[in-house]
Structures are given as structure tokens and as C-alpha cells.
Chain A
Amino acid sequence: MDVIFKSIFSTVFFYTILRVATPLIFVSMAALIVRKGGIMCIAFEGMMLFAALGGVIGSALTQNLFVGLLLGTIFGVTIAMIFAYFVLVLQSNNVLTGLALNILGSGGTVFLLFALTGEKGTSSSLRSLQVPHWNIPIIKDIPILGEIISGHNLFTYLAFLTVILVYILVYKTRLGLRIRSVGENPQAAESVGIKVIRTKVISLLIGGLIASFGGMYMSMGYLPFFTRDMMSGRGFIGIAAQNLGGGIPLNTMLSAMLFGSAEAVSNVFQSLRLPSEFVQMLPYIVTIVGLISIGGVKKESKSKIKRIKEIKESTHE
């Protein structure tokens, strides 16, 4: 028991949560933007894998971090645009298209890696670059807080910045208003002259961009190399976080962090000789319980609205 407390109530543990949650925050924000545009997209896993490999290839070949980031972004956004073309223009089924792109991500990245390096497992033979860590000047000297908040990878700070930017974009800009209106009622939006498909494509473009950063964090921040299938379901957990957060940026971020904490707890608990099968379930149990409770709340609020309407109607009569 003593070890459990020592491991969990430590600054390192909270630092770990931020590190584990970073890719989830990115994906959940990508999912949020796309969802606001009224698109159900599950292709984030594929976008992230391609972005992760693109970043590694770009930075390894040019030894320039920005070229790496640029190439990674291009790779990830390309997948998002393929999704947009198939689903929005050719009207294909979105779930099947998403699934296909995820499989393409899994196989295609290995194919590219093999073509470039002759290896199929990892990119460790490529001398790719890593995004640096940042010790925040004054904050790093504050006792507990500094140890938790300072010294993270720049991507982690970017993830939190993204949450703010997404909030501003969705609720404070004209583009955000258009994305929301297209998502909520495309006919009404079209009737006032908004180009529905173009707006949806833009929301996918932004989503792809954010997801790409999540992918590049995995291969250029979290780890210094690409390994096959390294996303291991993080793209889907991000979608779950978006649902749990009810499409509100702050809540979505908190949900992503909740999943990150569950993952971090399970990592610590495993070596404390709890059955590994049980501990590995933990993040997924949290996800399911979260989604069920959200479902319950929604149902309740719907029935409340119905009751209010009934009362109103009866008073009118």
C-alpha cells in the first residue's frame, strides 16, 4: 500500500499524466472540430501514423526540425483530405472510409518505412530529430507546481494551447460559427449562402492538422523514433474523449486527461502485482463508464425539456 501512495501521490505521477494525455488531447480536439462540422470521422489513427512517419522522414533526411514538422503535417492532412474527398464528394460511407484509411495507415507507413530503410519494425536507423523539452523560466522554480508543469515536451504545451485556440475558433470566429451551423443544420446554412461542403472540408483540414501534431508527438517527442502501429488505439480514445466532453473544448480536454490518468494509474499498478489483465482494462473501463454516464445525463436532460414543454403547453391552454 505504501508503495502505491508513494507512486501515485508524487509530482512525477502528475507529470506523467500530462505526458500520457498529450496525444489524447490533440486527437480529441481534432475530433471535436470535425464533429462540430457534422462529420463522423474515425480515420485519426491513420492520420496520426502517417504524420508520425512523415515527421521522422522529413527531419531525418534534411536534419531540419521544421521540414520534419511540415512533412508530417502534409502527410497527416493528406489522409484527412482523402477522407474528405471520398466522404463529402463521392458520398462514400464514412465509417468504412475511416476504417480503410486506418488500415492504410498501418500498412502504408510500414511500406514507406521499408522502401526507405529496408526495415519494417522501427525507424531507429534514421537519425531523426526530436522536438525539445522546455523548462519554463520562473515557473520551474516553484516547488511542486514547477515539477509538474515545467520540463515537458513543447508538443505538450502546444496541446494545451490548441485547446484554447480551438475554443476561440469554434465560438469566437465567423469560420467557427459557419462550421457549427453546417454541422447542426446544413440546409439552413445553405439557405443563407454558406458553402456547406467547403466548410466541412475546412473543418476536416483543421482536424487533420491537429491530429498530425498528435501523431508527430508520438514519434518526435514521446519517443525519438517511429515504430509500426505505434498509435495503438489512441486515435479512438481521442474520439471517446470528445464524446465524453460533449463537444465542449474544456470538458473534452478534461476527459482526455481523465483517460490519460487511467492509463498512467494502470502503468503504475501493473508492477505492483495486480493482475495485468485487470489493470490493462482500466483505461477502457473508465471510457465506457464515462460514456454511459454521459448518455444517462443526456437522456435525463431530454426528458426534462420534454416535461417543461408539456407544462408550457398546459399553461397556454
Chain B
Amino acid sequence: MKKLLLVLVALVLTTVSLTSCAKKVEPKTLKVVVVINTNLGDKAFSDLVWGGVQKAAAEFDFEIKAVELGGDPTKQEPTLTELCDSKEWDLIVAGTFNLLEATKKAAEKYPDQKFLVYDAAINYADGKFKNVVSVLSKQNEGSYLAGALAALLTKSTTDPLVNDEKIIGFVGGGENAAINDFLIGYIEGAKAVDPATKILFSYVGNFTDSAKAKELALAQFQQGADIVFAVASSAGFGVYDAAKTADKYAIGVDQDKALQFKAVGDIVQAKHIPTSVVKNLDVLIYEKLSQFVKKTMPWGTHEAVGLKGNGMALANNEYTKLIVSADILAQVEALKAKIVAGTTVVPTAIGLTTEQIQVYKDKAGQ
């Protein structure tokens, strides 16, 4: 037994030394690995991140790889530890609040390994995490405009798809800080244009059950909502289908959903999506990666980019113009200008306790 162990250890050592020798010969190109907490191909969040990385890689010529965790929390720490241990990667890109704790642990344990954290905030105040840069697009600001647009649209008297009640809806994937950030922005935006607007909200409980998402949206339409905001990754497709079935409206998320549906030829579906809250995370990640290549990365800092700086935007496509009146669009544009100028500050769920978030949720039904 002991002999076998010895042989094994010797084998491992030789392979390790051999491979490390081999690596030194290679010309040095930067290597960046992206850890995706869920999966690529959601046509939303993950694809956006990967798109930004790909664009930067093409331009600055570095090597990239994506690791997909499939939403399995037990894979988070082992994957990150393995990536750090291999010392192969110049930069590990990891993001979302779900992956944050594991990333922080790894960053603390491996202070020489560089990290780029997206869509989550890190507290750098106590001098920790000098090897990390974090960037966040302020979803609450984009969501605020969506809420305002929804609240204005539900009051419309000319649109045949809209009823008399001032009710709008929201279907979230799971309850986490990012989703609640969307929700709070949405509630605040709707209340800002008309305090009498009622906001219904439900959570699917996961990001895959599109049938349940459809049922939740249909239940909200049934309770008088005319427009439902879907923030649920691939489960969100159920909400869009619900809008098509019930002949109501849905608001898309992360990417311009109406144009996506148009691209695959589903015009009817596109006509039920007046707008989408677009997260320009690809732009933010591209910028950070270009800083990394140029060695100007501000290590140990956090950056939150909202409507100002184009980190977030409300899609304004041909279907928006078709469904939403110019008057409403002008009002939304005025609200946007206020946020950009800094006169309106949209509250955020990030860093709030459950009780504090509940205060905002309680406002929704009043």
C-alpha cells in the first residue's frame, strides 16, 4: 500500500514538473477564464458576459475559456480553488451575487490571483481584496424606467390590450439581491409616475421552470395586470409566451427581447414586448478587460454604472414606437435625464436587509 502511494506521488510530481516545464517554453499570451454560475445559451445574462469577453479577446488577442457551473452551488468553491491552484490563468472573471461568497473566499486565499467580479458589489473598505476589481450595472435604474413606462402604459385609454385597472406585474426567477434590485427599481419607477399603481410580483423559485413562469404571469394578467416584467433568465420565456397567449404585454430583460424574437421570425411575439431593460454588461466587461490588457486596472475598487455611462438602457426599437405613444416615451426620457443628472436617486436592494426590502414590497400593493 505504502509503495503504491509512493509511486503515485512520484508520478504526480513528475507530470506536474513536466507540464510546468512545457509551459515555460510557450510564448506568453494572457489567459482569461470566465466562471459562469449558470450556463451559456440563456440568451440573456450569461451570453452577454461571454459576448463582452469574446469581443475583448478578439481585439486584444488573449486566450479565453468559459467554465459553466450549471447553477450547482456545490461546484463553486472547488472550481474556483482548482482554477487558482493551477496558476494558469492571469485573470479569473466571475460574477453574480450567487457566486460572490465563493469568489471572495478564493480571492482571500489566493492574494496573487487576479479577479474581475461582475454584477456584484464587494466592500473594499478594510483593505482586503487588493487583487479584485468589481463592476456592476445598476439594474435598479433601468428597472425604474421600465416601471415608469409600465405604469404609464397601463393608464392608456387608446390601447385595446390595456384594461382600466392600474395594475402591473413582475415575475422574478429566484429571490436574490439582484432580482430584488430589479423589483425595487420597478416599484419605485411605477410609483413615481402614479402612486396609485399596484404592482403584483411573484417568484418562480428557479430559473428553468418556464411553464411555472407562464402560469405566474397568466395569474397576474388574470388579476388585472396589463404588463408583466420578466426577470427570470430562460424561465422568462414562459412570461413572454403568456403575454402572447393572453394578448397582453411583457417587458424583457438583459437583452432586447423584441429584436431577438424578430430575428427568429416570431413577429407576433415581438409585438407583445414593448421594451426590454438592457444590461450593457458586455460593454462594461469589455472596458475592464481592455484596462487589464493595458495594465491600468484600478485594483481594489468597485464601479457601478447605471443609465449614466450607458451601463443600463431601456430598449427603444420599432415595436416600442409601435406600442408606446410618443408622449409616454417623452415622459420616460425626462425621468432618465433626471437620473443621469443625479437629481433622482433610485433606491437599491443591494446591501439591504430582508426587513428593509419588505418595506418597499409593502408599498407595491398600496
Is A bound to B? yes
Q: How many A-B residue pairs have CB under 8 A?
A: 108
Interface string of A268-286 (1 = CB under 8 A from B): 1011110011001000000
B78 within 8 A of A: no
Cross-chain contact A121 with B219 (CB below 8 angstroms)? no
Instruction: Give 4 A-B pairs besides A121-B39, A229-B209, A267-B212 with Cβ atoms closer than 8 angstroms.
Output: A10-B222, A124-B266, A230-B211, A232-B208
Instruction: Mark the stretch among B132-140, B231-239, B312-320 that contacts chain A.
Output: B231-239
For chain A residues 224-239, which have a beta carbon within 8 Å of chain B?
Answer: 224-225, 227-230, 232
B58 within 8 A of A: no
Interface string of A13-33 (1 = CB under 8 A from B): 000100010000000000000
Cross-chain contact A16 with B39 (CB below 8 angstroms)? no
Which residues on B are within 8 Å of A, measured CB to CB? 39-44, 169, 175, 200-203, 205-206, 208-212, 214-216, 218-220, 222-223, 233-235, 237-238, 241, 261, 264-266, 361-362, 364-365
Chain A residues, Cβ within 8 Å of B210: 122, 223, 225, 227, 230
With known contacts A228-B208, A270-B203, A271-B220, A122–B214 Cβ distance under 8 A: no
With known contacts A124-B237, A267-B202, A222–B211 Cβ distance under 8 A: yes
CB < 8 Å neighbour of B214 from A222, A229, A272, A280: A222
Tally of A interface residues using CB under 8 Å = 36
Chain B residues, Cβ within 8 Å of A225: 210, 237, 241
Cross-chain contact B208 with A12 (CB below 8 angstroms)? no
Q: Could you tell me the distance in whole angstroms from the C-beta of B39 to the nearest C-beta in chain A?
A: 6
Cross-chain contact A232 with B212 (CB below 8 angstroms)? yes
CA distance A122 to B209 in the complex (A): 12
Q: Could you tell me the distance in whole angstroms from the C-beta of A287 to the nearest C-beta in chain B?
A: 15
CA distance A7 to B44 in the complex (A): 32
A90 within 8 A of B: no
With known contacts A120-B39, A227-B235, A273–B218 Cβ distance under 8 A: no
Cross-chain contact B222 with A124 (CB below 8 angstroms)? no
Cross-chain contact A12 with B237 (CB below 8 angstroms)? no
With known contacts A228-B39, A270-B202, A223–B215 Cβ distance under 8 A: no
Chain B residues, Cβ within 8 Å of A229: 208-209
Chain B residues, Cβ within 8 Å of A114: 41
Closest A residue to B260 using CB positions: A124
Interface string of A245-274 (1 = CB under 8 A from B): 000000000000000000110011011110
Interface string of A87-98 (1 = CB under 8 A from B): 000000000000
Q: Could you tell me the distance in whole angstroms from the C-beta of B252 to the nearest C-beta in chain A?
A: 12
Which are the 5 A-B pairs with shortest beta-carbon distances? A120-B41, A270-B202, A232-B209, A271-B200, A229-B208
Cross-chain contact A270 with B206 (CB below 8 angstroms)? no
Cross-chain contact B202 with A271 (CB below 8 angstroms)? yes
CA distance A124 to B214 in the complex (A): 15
Interface string of A117-132 (1 = CB under 8 A from B): 0011110110100000
With known contacts A218-B211, A225-B237, A227-B237, A119–B216 Cβ distance under 8 A: no
CA distance A225 to B242 in the complex (A): 12
Cross-chain contact B206 with A267 (CB below 8 angstroms)? no
A3 within 8 A of B: yes
CA distance A171 to B253 in the complex (A): 52
Chain A residues, Cβ within 8 Å of B211: 218, 222-223, 230, 232
For chain A residues 207-224, which have a beta carbon within 8 Å of chain B?
Answer: 218, 222-224
Give the residue among A110, A224, A268, A270 with the most B Cβ atoms within 10 A. A270
Cross-chain contact A227 with B234 (CB below 8 angstroms)? yes
Chain A residues, Cβ within 8 Å of B214: 222-223
Task: List 12 contacting pairs A-B, 8 Å CB cutoff, sorted by A.
Answer: A12-B222, A121-B234, A124-B266, A225-B237, A227-B208, A228-B39, A230-B211, A232-B211, A264-B215, A270-B219, A271-B201, A273-B365
CA distance A122 to B260 in the complex (A): 12
CA distance A75 to B81 in the complex (A): 39
Closest B residue to A127 using CB positions: B265
Chain B residues, Cβ within 8 Å of A230: 208-211
Closest A residue to B234 using CB positions: A121
Chain B residues, Cβ within 8 Å of A232: 206, 208-209, 211-212
With known contacts A114-B41, A120-B40, A223-B214, A276–B266 Cβ distance under 8 A: no
